[in-house]
Structure 1
């Protein structure tokens, strides 16, 4: 049985563990926290700081097939970069591409250099979309509707035009020369631009062509996700992240059968066999990934950042066409992943999941 090691015990680590288990792999978690969020879902947990005790990671590398960094601590990433050549197994991470993607200003310069469509910087009139240069996902973002609100804004913040449209995402895995494009997804966001739901979408040729162009120009050797606004004028890329994402890979797996952990291992061990951005990924299942919390006697959508602040995230229930995860913390959150080959069957599984959670919480069912 194959075994992988992940560095980091939060949501990215949960995603990799979930997909690794679907592929029949075992997972070893390394985290310096004594009680990381996902300690109860992995097969083995080693508590130590790789920066202070690198020899322990070298020992682990002798007994696993690969190591996947699933954190965004820059000091840890730099340490792994220095350690990688002394490990006994591959480290599945593209440090060069991550350096470009980790800074949104640096990313925007890269987009401009290869003519990638992206929201315009410093537009002449509101509304403006404001975001910090280095935070992941939606952290610190806001929409400003009046020029007076720009006064006193931290000069490091990026100010872009606000573009209407769905937020769409696509993962790419590369071996440096060839690239595998996954399944397109829609990221459903709340008023703070935090993701509370993911669903698959149909073949989107423009998004696929843009994603392949980005990967080729980066010479990507690892995994990257591309997030864009699907505007009336076509996709406009918001950001790229050259690390394993959370949430979307689960929907990619259930909707298409593509397991991005397996593809990532393939990229480093045997290579990606071919590149074809025009090839549509088959729609195997209808599916939904959503986060829900109890509020005034009913389950309501909540964003993923609520989970990242929890103390324990684990599998609560699993059955045909349905997986439910539970997060314990200041806010109790349930994540429902439901799927089925037909839309009606997928929705029936979703309703079954809602019923299981409601019964557990003692909630009287209300009409949907």
Structure 2
């Protein structure tokens, strides 16, 4: 199958990686050439998809369009051009319109009586403040007092979502839907850095059967209410024994699909893409955890190794895929021989999660030994370990 991935940033890395694992011929387009996924695909073209005279002829011989971006003008253009060229577009415009607005998403949660953070002013401090239209952790601010609140909003409020700050582990779940058929996939655990950007995804979780079932029912309920034709992820936080939904995104996420692939062998992009191309849902299949899997982002510099959020992967230019990178299964990185500063997404697996963690420690130690690194930095949100800085890699 010949597919085109539109957007070469972190979503594009995810899409290209999984499309290649599916055995597809992968063409990547982005209006900018210096993007992370540019060297991971079979062919790359610097094309602005809003320039229809250039873009429409390009679709000849393409079996599927996979959006991997959040630019609304570009997405609107893709919807029109896919309809015109009669090429399947793996995207649910209506569901995305709701999920891309945290205000609209919260209204959906309230209507469906889905547990979510208490909105301000019904809650007290501390608060989490986030832009309604931003993605992931972008623009997220924690406010601990009324003084901080008034300072932030002294120039007036825009489209902000303001709600209670919750402490606890975070989890993610993808749901795919097509023609009224829905499937929940593997629950993953998310680890955040000090600015609430996801730095690590663990493809195995220790949730109870009751909480797993509750999470899956939440995901199915949201997918059905949106009549989902595409993919959606749901992020929750386990606060005092109860799951609360933080946000949904009806688009291909980054990080978690790769972790799910390595933990279960299930390639959600392949399953959903085939449904769009064949215009029929998938045959029923089981989600079975086959191995422990950890996906983690690191930054290596002069005498330090830092585990950090995925933002470190976004501005370094083209990335490359290596197998058996210091003991990993694979690594996606801008490393090259002789570089003293580089970043990498490490993919590590084991027979079970304990073995995966042991291998992960060995990988970190091998990298530190190779570069003579003495300082290992792993930052957490304040509530976890008060910006825990570990100054020796020996305890990783």
Asked if residue 252 in structure 1 is aligned to residue 260 in structure 2, the reply is yes
CA displacement at 1:360 relative to structure 2: 5.6
CA displacement at 1:324 relative to structure 2: 1.1
Q: Secondary structure at the match of 1:325?
A: strand
CA–CA separation in structure 1 for the residues paired with 2:283 and 2:37: 35
Q: Which of 325, 346, 352 is equivalent to 2:332? A: 325
Q: Which of 198, 219, 226 is equivalent to 2:227? A: 219
For 1:189, the equivalent position in structure 2 comes to 192
For 1:367, the equivalent position in structure 2 comes to 394
Cα distance 1:133–1:47, how it changes in 2: closer, same or farther (>3 A)? same
Matching of residues 199-218 of structure 1 within 5 Å: 199-200=202-203, 201-202=205-206, 204-218=212-226
Asked if residue 61 in structure 1 is aligned to residue 59 in structure 2, the reply is yes
- Unaligned runs of 5+ residues in structure 1 are none
Contact 1:179-1:274 within 8 A present in 2 as well: no
State the superposition RMSD in angstroms: 2.4
For 2:387, the equivalent position in structure 1 comes to none
Cα distance 1:339–1:220, how it changes in 2: closer, same or farther (>3 A)? same
For 2:100, the equivalent position in structure 1 comes to 102
CA displacement at 1:251 relative to structure 2: 0.7
Cα distance 1:348–1:270, how it changes in 2: closer, same or farther (>3 A)? farther
Per mean C-alpha deviation after superposition, the further-off stretch among 119-128 and 167-176 is 119-128
For 1:338, the equivalent position in structure 2 comes to 348
For 1:144, the equivalent position in structure 2 comes to 143
Cα distance 1:357–1:17, how it changes in 2: closer, same or farther (>3 A)? farther
For 1:155, the equivalent position in structure 2 comes to 157
Contact 1:252-1:258 within 8 A present in 2 as well: yes
**What is the TM-score with the length of structure 2 in the denominator?**
0.85
CA displacement at 1:163 relative to structure 2: 1.5
Contact 1:119-1:162 within 8 A present in 2 as well: yes
Per mean C-alpha deviation after superposition, the further-off stretch among 287-296 and 129-138 is 287-296
Per mean C-alpha deviation after superposition, the further-off stretch among 189-198 and 19-28 is 19-28
Per mean C-alpha deviation after superposition, the further-off stretch among 146-155 and 355-364 is 355-364
CA displacement at 1:308 relative to structure 2: 1.4
CA–CA separation in structure 2 for the residues paired with 1:85 and 1:239: 30
Describe the superposition over 1:86-116 as per-residue Cα deviations: whole angstroms up to 9, x where unpaired: 1242110000000001111011111111111
Aligned residues: 363
Cα distance 1:34–1:266, how it changes in 2: closer, same or farther (>3 A)? closer
CA–CA separation in structure 1 for the residues paired with 2:284 and 2:141: 37
CA–CA separation in structure 2 for the residues paired with 1:344 and 1:321: 15
Asked if residue 16 in structure 1 is aligned to residue 22 in structure 2, the reply is no
Per mean C-alpha deviation after superposition, the further-off stretch among 99-108 and 145-154 is 145-154
Q: Which of 248, 260, 275 is equivalent to 1:267? A: 275
For 2:115, the equivalent position in structure 1 comes to 117
Contact 2:177-2:183 within 8 A present in 1 as well: yes
CA displacement at 1:57 relative to structure 2: 3.3
For 1:46, the equivalent position in structure 2 comes to 45
Q: Secondary structure at the match of 2:245?
A: strand
Describe the superposition over 1:181-228 as per-residue Cα deviations: whole angstroms up to 9, x where unpaired: 110001100121011000021461111100000000000000111111
Asked if residue 293 in structure 1 is aligned to residue 299 in structure 2, the reply is yes
CA–CA separation in structure 2 for the residues paired with 1:56 and 1:271: 31
CA–CA separation in structure 2 for the residues paired with 1:220 and 1:69: 16
**What is the TM-score with the length of structure 1 in the denominator?**
0.91
CA–CA separation in structure 2 for the residues paired with 1:367 and 1:69: 42
For 1:354, the equivalent position in structure 2 comes to 364
CA–CA separation in structure 2 for the residues paired with 1:362 and 1:24: 39
CA–CA separation in structure 2 for the residues paired with 1:106 and 1:187: 24
